[in-house]
Amino acid sequence: MPRALPISWLVFVAALAAASISLAACSPRPAPAALAASDTVATPATGLVLSESEGERRMRRPRPGGQRDTGVPIIIKVDGMNGGSSQLFMGYEDIPVGEAIQPHYHPHADEIVFVHRGRGVAMLGDRRADVAAGATIYIPHGTRVTLRNTGTEPITIAFVFADPAMSSYFRDGTVPEGEPVLPMTAADVAARRERHRQHIVIVP
């Protein structure tokens, strides 16, 4: 039978644990990283219940040669400004027939794309896969991805990042629905890509 610990040893262990808890409570915690004004987090988080068409509806500013940008809204569903999330960004958009999301990768954030309706072809790294309604695409950070609509109706997708600051890329290059939509020049496109290289890198 194992011997019981002496009372003095138990008292010492209890005192050590109490001191550790007290020290942890008093230790300074690092300040959270500063957020851009466009990524302000609501406090406290309010939570949301949204229909398919609800959210922050924005229109893409057309780019040179970018047919997909014309008249196609993107809906920012959840981020720091919508619902007050400090951990998630969710968006929702259509890819018109014959159009594609240009090849790109995200340096620091994993992404999940859920295909709500439509059909297409996804390229994930060197892997090619046909996708249809109900498909889920998991994109680890640093992995090249593109999605092309090969069907006869728009592909509707929902996409989620574990980084609410990703929404800043989508706001930069869009305008609120109902406002004038001014085309982007090649210089505008290049400047936007440079501003958001920590979020997304376009692959030529």
Question: For residue 54, what is the domain's CATH number?
Answer: 2.60.120.10
What pTM was estimated for this model as a whole? 0.75
Amino acid at 107: P
Domain that holds residue 158: 38-202
For 11-21, write each residue's pLDDT tens digit: 333 443 444 43
Q: Is residue 5 part of a domain?
A: no
Measured distance CA(138)–CA(159) in Å, rounded: 10
For 25-75, write each residue's pLDDT tens digit: 344 433 333 334 344 444 568 899 999 999 999 999 988 876 555 567 899
Q: Is residue 31 part of a domain?
A: no
Measured distance CA(180)–CA(83) in Å, rounded: 26
Amino acid at 108: H
Q: Is residue 6 part of a domain?
A: no
pLDDT of residue 116: 97
Q: Is residue 33 part of a domain?
A: no
